[in-house]
Amino acid sequence: MPRTGRPTTTARGIAHDFLHHAAQVRVPARAEYTDAVLMVVTELVTNAIRHTAGSAVLHLELHDDHIEIRVTDTSPEPAEPRLPRTDGSGGYGWHLIDRLTTRTHTEPTPRGGKTICAHAPW
């Protein structure tokens, strides 16, 4: 996702289209899983844009019981939860991702960045 324009909106649109096709292959076990995947995509892309200097890449993959959401960015710094703030400056995203997914992990990329991988139930 480029840093210009509306990268989060673009990512949500891509995810929405992907989920539409995924549901034709395998209907989600619960209707709310679609919204959960969209929320995780939004948070991961927002964090990549907000906390790194380069572009971000979104990859979605349907598995037997989950959607794998991968967001690659240019920063080697690991994602870490922050204390939520009530002044509007954030801190809720990583906690939300953790709550909506069954597994998350971070992998270094060959070019010095990282990929955050999240498994959302499907």
Chain-centroid distance of CA 16 in Å reads: 13
Confidence band (pLDDT; 50, 70, 90) for 89? low
Predicted pLDDT at 5: 65
Predicted pLDDT at 6: 83
> Would you put residue 65 in left (φ > 0), alpha (ψ -120 to 50) or beta?
alpha
Average pLDDT score, the chain: 91
Instruction: Report percent pLDDT > 70 for the chain.
Output: 93
Give me the CATH topology for the region 7-121.
Answer: Heat Shock Protein 90 (3.30.565)
Beta bridge partners of 121: 66
Chain-centroid distance of CA 116 in Å reads: 8
Predicted pLDDT at 28: 97
Predicted pLDDT at 80: 79
**Which is more confident, 54 or 33?**
33
**Which is more confident, 102 or 8?**
102
Instruction: Report percent pLDDT > 90 for the chain.
Output: 70
| Region 55-82 average pLDDT | 92
Residues 113/117/118/121 CA torsion (nearest 10 deg)? 160
